[in-house]
Amino acid sequence: MLERICNILIIESNQNELLELMQILRKPGNNIFTAESNKEAIEILDSKEIAIVLLDLDSEKLEPNEIIRWINSRDQLLNVHIIVTSTRLERMYDAIDHSKKGAVDYLLKPFKEKLVNTKIGVYKYLNQKQKRVSRLLENILPEQTLKEFRVHGKSSPKKFNNTSVLFTDFVNFSQITQDMNPDILIQKLDYYFSKFDEIIKKYKLEKIKTIGDAYMAVGGVTEKEPSVAMRTALAAIEIQNFMMTEQETAKALSRDFWEIRIGIHSGPLVAGVIGKEKFSFDVWGDTVNVAARCEQNAENSTINVSDDFYQQIKAYFDCEERGPIAVKNRGEVDMYFLKGIKKEFSFYGQGTNPNLDLREKVGLPKSDFEGLRTFILNKLKAELDDELVYHSYDHTLNVEEAVIKYAQLENLSEEETTLCRTAALFHDSGFLVQYDDNEEIGVKIFKKYASEFGFSKNYITTIESIILATSNSIVPKNLMEEIMCDADHDYLGRVDYHVIARKLFQEKAAQGIQLSEKQQIEMQVNYLQNKHSYYTTSAINLRGPGKESRIAELKRRLVLEIG
């Protein structure tokens, strides 16, 4: 979805020409920002991820060369495509020819709609292609290695002395999958490995590769966070718990399940990029081999670790000694089963989730967003009344997804995005208690649990304001609150509007509020036309036109209903 949306900045001081360009470009996939001065343009370029700039060369109020120089001075704006506009062809030629990294194209005034759309389409395609290539490289290479490639065109192998290598594989994989449909097999592997990816990323480790049913990750190579071994142990425990939950669910439903083995070892290794045309990031050394042997010597559903790894984590984790075990080409290696986090370092003494002290010790954010997210989603799924077909579990996920979309388009920081996502997850939690005036209840539910998951007082206060911004009587005061409001009503401008609106009236009927077809249409028109507003530029651009179409559709239906 986001890949198809392109942020376009029009820098134009002539109002008529600005409105003309906006009218031409106002269509799905174009997220348009405007600036009438250099200051406004630089503020937008500095705060939004702009892909295409349309820069007017004719205005005496603008200094186009200053904007071009400013863009060229920012590494993060290297992929911005600048298209200059003017009534004079020679002026645009100068802007293109005499800037080493200047404009890439031009549009002659007066604008021709077909030509404008064609050229914008070309640079949108190039921008999308650049994004896909960047994402592919980011998935293949660690961030630091990718920076080296971009600057020097190569990356030299490096030795690391304190690393932890984690291997997993599925027990009896060949036997249990030999009769499986290949498509189903790949889907299941993708499901599990995608979850492993999330966990590995959460603990700041680096996924190296998958080989068949084996999964390999390493810590201490690409990250700067402390306590490599303990973060690796936490990741292994979370993977183990995820698989145990999957297994218990499968048993309850009388379905087949997969079991996992995990092995970990610590020590030195060499890391670097191999290959010239098809390259990959990899690690080598005895540490890798011993970690693989630890995994092979694990029992079903266990985490088997070496003594070298155990010595680094024993103060914080419970382990069961196994004694020396023969390892090929290495002799005997003392091994242990990693059982869990010591009670005094885990939430509620359960041994599965690190408490705030341990999170801080290993360099994780004190606020455990993922833990709180899992908690509230499980609570909503289990406890929301089945009659809440609009304010449902799925609605919460839908709003969270919209928050992520608008946060990226409006260029929120990772921290701000997390605050908005948290508010989205709790904004309808008040429905667990009562139907009307539930925002304050949702805030109370959030505040009851937030501190247990490490959310600071400042975070709690900010999230409280974001939740309350969804109340009908409150106008959002800042960008995060605006994003929350727009995400909550994202569907008003989507093609699935009528499906969701029917759920709302179905829910109201269950609450005893019976409305005729005409009353429903009148209520929708009144709300969409007179009460609701989109606040962010992105929502106005992306959902505003759809919302206007919904209003027109509903008015036509109202005429037919009256007739």
Residues 466/378, Cβ–Cβ less than 8 Å:
no
Q: Tell the burial category of 345 from Cβ atoms under 10 Å away from its Cβ (0-12, 13-18, 19+).
A: buried
The amino acid occupying position 152 is H
Query: N- to C-terminal Cα distance for the chain?
Result: 40
The CB density around residue 140, as the number of other CB atoms within 10 Å, is 14
Q: What is the CATH number of domain 2-140?
A: 3.40.50.2300
Question: Per residue in 513-556, pLDDT tens?
Answer: 999 999 999 999 999 999 999 999 999 999 999 999 999 999 99
pLDDT tens for the chain, 563 residues: list them. 555 789 999 999 899 999 999 999 988 889 999 999 999 999 999 989 999 999 999 988 889 889 988 988 887 787 899 999 999 888 787 777 544 567 889 999 999 999 999 999 999 999 888 888 877 777 777 777 777 776 666 677 889 999 999 999 999 998 888 888 999 999 999 999 999 999 999 999 999 999 999 999 999 998 888 999 999 999 999 999 999 999 999 999 888 899 999 999 999 999 988 776 677 889 999 999 999 999 999 999 999 999 999 999 999 999 999 999 998 878 899 999 999 999 999 887 788 889 888 998 999 888 889 889 999 999 999 999 999 999 999 999 999 999 999 999 999 999 999 999 999 999 999 999 999 889 999 999 999 999 888 899 999 999 999 999 999 888 999 999 999 999 999 999 999 999 999 999 999 999 999 999 999 999 999 999 999 999 999 999 999 999 999 999 999 998 887 65
Instruction: Give tens-digit pLDDT for 121-150.
Output: 999 999 888 888 877 777 777 777 777 776
Domain boundary assignment for the chain: 2-140, 153-361, 369-562
- Please state whether the peptide bond connecting residue 545 to the residue before it is cis, i.e. omega within 30 degrees of 0: no
Angle between helices 113-140 and 143-152 in degrees, nearest 10: 120
DSSP SS3 for 194: helix
Are β-strands 81-86 and 105-108 bridged in parallel, bridged antiparallel, or unpaired? parallel
At the topology level, CATH places domain 369-562 in: Catalytic domain of cyclic nucleotide phosphodiesterase 4b2b (1.10.1300)
If one counts every other C-beta atom within 10 angstroms of the C-beta of residue 163, the result is 26
**Which residues, 6+ apart, have CB-to-CB distance to 539 below 8 Å?**
406, 486, 490, 493
pTM of the model: 0.78
Q: DSSP code of 401?
A: H
Helix (H, G, I), strand (E, B) or coil at 208: strand
CA dist 427 and 425 (Å) reads 6
User: The domain at 153-361 falls in which architecture?
Assistant: 2-Layer Sandwich (3.30)
d(CA 22, CA 123): 17
